[in-house]
Amino acid sequence: MKLRVLYWPRVFWPQIGGVERIAADFLPAMRQRGYEFAVITSHSSLPMPDEYEFQGAPVYRFHFWEALVERDPSRIFQIAERIAAIKRDFEPDLVHVNYWEPSLYFQHRTATAAPTPLLVSFRGPPPESGGTAETVFGRTMHTATWVTAVSTSVLQAVRAHVPEVTSRSSVIHNGIDLPPLQPTPLSFQPPRLLCIGRLVPEKGFDLALRALALLVRAFPSLRLTIAGDGPERPVLETLARELGVNAAVRFLGWVPPEQVPSLMNEATLVLVPSRWEGLPGVAIQASQMARPIVATDVWGIPEIVIDGVTGLLTESEDVPGLARGVDFLLRHPEEAAAFGKSARRHVEVAFNWQRYLDAHDSLYRTLTTEVGCADPADALAPQ
Amino acid sequence: MLTLQTRLRPNDGVAAKVFEGEAIIINLSNGIYYSMDNVGALIWEQIEAGLNLGEIVATLTARYDVSAGQAQADLERLGGELVEEGIVQPGQDDGSSRDRPRSVGATGLRYDSPRLEIYRDIGHLLALDPPMPGLRDVPWNAPAQDAPGEPGT
């Protein structure tokens, strides 16, 4: 008999981002391993139906955010009733929530409709609002059967914030399937830098522009490609002009995921200047394509980018540090190539897609079959 | 101090609704959410109907398998919490007209002490997690799993 998992991400395909990309691959892969999924997620500005099917899994979208902002008890009740009905109909063996966010209020409110083990996965650090019993976050954590984090640094933050989960929590690093495209040798003529991601402040692409401004005098042919889209794009375009580097910058806009490996192959090195990251998929993908990385030493990044081995790390907001890292790698092509090769080897092992699936397969089965024991931690070793 | 003659009046700026045995209460001034099940939901209905605490105790003892002493103690505790949270304000019964109490209906029901569930962080979570702005409209071709659209997290 198939195990049924109610999967609850903040947003879901066809919204696109690192988390959504992984989820879109994860569900079909886990279905092949014998799981049945239903998805509950939020509506967004995309015009989407309330219900549809994604690769055999029903997807239910709700206006969670709007209902809570409007503070309309009738609308909140209607959503909760619908979710309770979905749970009663689907009869999940496990509920897997994939982000801390306001919709967890509805998960908690409907918990009794289908009492099941609850798996909570953190893609980034926890909210600063307390983990007390009088909060959605605290209630979710208190009732979680198991907690996973996408990186060791995120797990440490979660445990520091909610110590009670220490004995029932572990890390599952993201995994990304190795693309069929082989890495090409690094090209330094001309040197090309690449940033990929949503154009939002936490990605730190403004820092990349400022670093570029420090580098163009020494490397007049240096070019920076920024791939992605987002609300910061006008700000970044203006900044590039103000810094006098707009001729050296190409804003590529949104790039389909399947084109990312070939885009990586065009880059001499990849910049990940983030201010905040759970575990950036772009750093994993750059490593898969044997690109050396210059990145900020924040959250999960050092678990992908090993300083001096697969890339170079600098402090957050350290523009001169980013520039020094780029400068070093451009002046030392052999080291840069060696970093890239080491990076590929590192992620093939540590961020392996099959390992990611295996870890969830094992955890799902343990949580659903061992839930009868008083303490699931007896069956699962925290890391 | 709450007495049996106290009438609790919902404050302005409180939105509440009772649905199928559950009260959802929202303090609009600070965005804190509350809920009460079963006994608590009935108490809220009685508060909204304008009954004093003594009348609510009578309703509880008529419907549930509970002593007057236990019901009064629970009601005073819960009422105190509601006052402290700024959801209601206490006043003395002035004998003015009020809605008729609901009929008691079933009797001898199992009694569980009412609990006020509080969710203090929803406003904070909403502020931290605004919806992504629409970057562009991607036509939706259901059930397109091949057409990615708006960037997410």
Average pLDDT over residues A239-243: 97
Instruction: Indicate yes or no: CB of B122 within 8 angstroms of CB of A229.
Output: no
Report the SS3 class of residue A235. helix
- β-pairing, A146-149 vs A118-122, is parallel
Please indicate, yes or no, whether residues A278 and A132 belong to a single structural domain of this protein: no
Please indicate, yes or no, whether residues A215 and A297 belong to a single structural domain of this protein: yes
Please indicate, yes or no, whether residues A346 and A362 belong to a single structural domain of this protein: no
Instruction: Dump pLDDT digits (tens) for A271-295.
Output: 999 998 888 999 999 999 999 999 9
Instruction: Indicate yes or no: CB of A42 within 8 angstroms of CB of B131.
Output: yes
- What's the Rg (C-alpha) of chain A? 22
Asked, for residue A183, whether it belongs to a domain, the answer is no
- The minimum CA-CA distance between B48 and chain A, rounded to whole Å, is 15
What CATH number does the domain located at B6-95+108-126 have?
3.90.930
The answer to whether A301 touches A343, Cβ cutoff 8 Å, is no
* Residue scoring higher pLDDT (A131 or A78): A78
Q: Which chain B residues touch A257 with a CB distance below 8 Å?
A: 148
Asked, for residue A186, whether it belongs to a domain, the answer is no
- β-pairing, A269-272 vs A192-196, is parallel
* Residue scoring higher pLDDT (B19 or A203): A203
Please indicate, yes or no, whether residues A71 and A208 belong to a single structural domain of this protein: no
Nearest chain B residue to A276 by CA distance is B153
- The minimum CA-CA distance between B72 and chain A, rounded to whole Å, is 25
- The minimum CA-CA distance between A136 and chain B, rounded to whole Å, is 6
Which of A129, A203, A252 would best serve as a mutation to test chain B binding (most B beta carbons within 10 A)? A129
Q: Is residue A117 very low, low, confident or very high in pLDDT (cuts 50, 70, 90)?
A: very high
Please indicate, yes or no, whether residues A213 and A279 belong to a single structural domain of this protein: yes
Please indicate, yes or no, whether residues A263 and A129 belong to a single structural domain of this protein: no
Q: How many CA atoms lie within 13 A of A234 on its CB side?
A: 2
Please indicate, yes or no, whether residues A95 and A211 belong to a single structural domain of this protein: no
Asked, for residue A383, whether it belongs to a domain, the answer is no
Nearest chain A residue to B134 by CA distance is A45
Q: Using 50 as the pLDDT threshold, list the residues of chain B that sit under it.
A: 97, 133-148, 150-153
Asked, for residue A53, whether it belongs to a domain, the answer is yes
Please, what is the average pLDDT of chain A?
A: 91
Domain count, chain A: 2
- β-pairing, A118-122 vs A94-97, is parallel
Whether cis (ω within 30° of 0) applies to the bond prior to A261 is: no
The partner residues of B64 in beta bridges, in order of sequence, read B109
* pTM, rounded to two decimals: 0.83
Instruction: Indicate yes or no: CB of B119 within 8 angstroms of CB of A10.
Output: no
Please indicate, yes or no, whether residues A102 and A233 belong to a single structural domain of this protein: no
Please indicate, yes or no, whether residues A156 and A250 belong to a single structural domain of this protein: no
pLDDT value at A184 more than 90: yes
* Residue scoring higher pLDDT (A257 or B112): B112
Residue A337 maps to which CATH number? 3.40.50.2000
pLDDT value at A309 more than 80: yes
Asked, for residue A162, whether it belongs to a domain, the answer is yes
Q: What percentage of chain A carries pLDDT values higher than 90? A: 72
The answer to whether the complex's ipTM is over 0.90 is no
Q: Which chain A residues touch B118 with a CB distance below 8 Å?
A: 134
User: Which strand (E) or helix (H) includes residue B118?
Assistant: strand B117-119
Whether cis (ω within 30° of 0) applies to the bond prior to B143 is: yes
* Residue scoring higher pLDDT (B152 or A92): A92
Query: C-alpha angle A365/A368/A373, rounded to 5°?
Result: 115
Please indicate, yes or no, whether residues A312 and A247 belong to a single structural domain of this protein: yes
Phi and psi of A28, rounded to 5°?
-60, -40
Q: Is B130 exposed, middle or buried (0-12, 13-18, 19+ CB in 10 A)?
A: exposed
- What's the Rg (C-alpha) of chain B? 21
Please indicate, yes or no, whether residues A284 and A358 belong to a single structural domain of this protein: no
Q: Which chain B residues touch A130 with a CB distance below 8 Å?
A: 121
Domain boundaries, chain B: 6-95+108-126
Asked, for residue A185, whether it belongs to a domain, the answer is no
Q: Is residue A369 very low, low, confident or very high in pLDDT (cuts 50, 70, 90)?
A: confident
Q: What percentage of chain A carries pLDDT values higher than 70? A: 95
Instruction: Indicate yes or no: CB of B124 within 8 angstroms of CB of A127.
Output: yes
Please indicate, yes or no, whether residues A242 and A346 belong to a single structural domain of this protein: yes
Residue A193 has a pLDDT of: 98
Range of the structural domain that residue A71 is part of: 3-175+352-378
Number of H helices, E strands in chain B: 4, 6
- Sheet strands side by side (includes A269-272): A249-253, A223-227, A192-196, A269-272, A293-296, A311-314
